[in-house]
């Protein structure tokens, strides 16, 4: 009899615990973890739905992962913005764990890339369809505002630098591109109705010292079909 009672109580508490985890009778999307060592490439995948990055770090916060190092407080501040800009809204994406992508947050230490993400599906099966293509350009020290009167922003391309000698002055340099442009603008603007981004070295770094730059962005306004 004691065994039967214990089993019933255990089943009851298991049910209560399950109810706490499940919201409104619907299981939330489980979090997924991806990790690769430096010089490798991390692939995020969502067979159903789209990727939503929750956290990311390129560096080292554990000494025994990808080797054994004493350093455990190594974080690239741009990790989340770069991975989100590269992966959010896609069903699959690849991100190299490399200093070329994130910079080197702790010189001389072997690093790794950690990413936590969810696979999200559209509510009620709704799709997002293209409404219109838009673009914007502002000179250095100005602020670019993206807006969608109908739908939400999806950034397609972005560059802070200079690829045209005649825009915002006249300069010979035309091969100036901040590699983090798309990631930063996407992170600030995707999924919103409007957003503002400063064309500034403080935001993107200085991809070509001594040259007056500009920010150029192409995006779509998308709404439910």
Note the pLDDT tens digit of each residue in 69-124.
889 999 999 999 889 888 888 888 999 999 999 999 999 999 999 999 988 775 54
Residue 151: predicted pLDDT: 77
Residue 224: predicted pLDDT: 61
Residue among 133, 161, 114 nearest 220 (CA): 133
Whole-angstrom Cα distance, residue 190 to residue 85?
9
Q: Which helix (H) or strand (E) holds 217?
A: strand 214-224
Is 217 in contact with 185 (CB distance < 8 Å)? yes
For residue 23, the cross-strand partners are: 26
- Record the tokens describing residue 86, joined without a space: 């590269």
Cα dihedral across residues 46, 51, 52, 58: positive or negative: positive
Phi (first) and psi of residue 208, to 5 degrees: -150, 90
Residue 225: predicted pLDDT: 55
Work out the number of other CB atoms within 10 angstroms of the CB of residue 22: 11
Residue 26: predicted pLDDT: 46
Residue 162: predicted pLDDT: 95
The structure's pTM equals: 0.48
Q: Residues in the chain with pLDDT < 70?
A: 1-29, 122-131, 224-225
The angle at the Cα of 149, spanning 177 to 196, to the nearest 5 degrees, equals 35
């Amino acid at each position: 009899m004691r065994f039967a009672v214990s089993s019933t109580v255990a089943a009851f508490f298991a049910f209560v615990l399950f109810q706490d985890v499940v919201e409104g009778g619907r299981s939330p999307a489980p979090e997924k973890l991806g990790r690769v060592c430096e010089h490798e490439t991390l692939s995020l995948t969502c067979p159903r739905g789209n990727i939503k990055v929750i956290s990311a770090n390129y560096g080292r916060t554990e000494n025994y992962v990808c080797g054994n190092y004493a350093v455990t407080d190594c974080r690239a501040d741009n990790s989340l913005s770069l991975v989100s800009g590269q992966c959010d809204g896609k069903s699959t994406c690849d991100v190299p764990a490399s200093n070329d992508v994130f910079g080197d947050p702790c010189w001389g230490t072997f690093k790794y890339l950690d990413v936590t993400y969810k696979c999200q599906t559209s509510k009620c099966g709704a799709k997002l369809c293209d409404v219109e293509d838009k673009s914007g350009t502002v000179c250095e020290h100005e602020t670019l505002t993206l807006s969608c009167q109908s739908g939400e922003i999806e950034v397609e391309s972005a560059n802070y630098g200079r690829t045209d000698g005649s825009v915002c002055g006249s300069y010979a340099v035309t091969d100036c591109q901040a590699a983090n442009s798309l990631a930063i603008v996407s992170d600030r603007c995707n999924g919103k109705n409007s957003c503002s981004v400063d064309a500034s070295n403080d935001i993107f770094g200085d991809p070509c010292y001594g040259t007056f730059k500009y920010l150029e962005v192409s995006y779509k306004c998308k709404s439910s079909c």
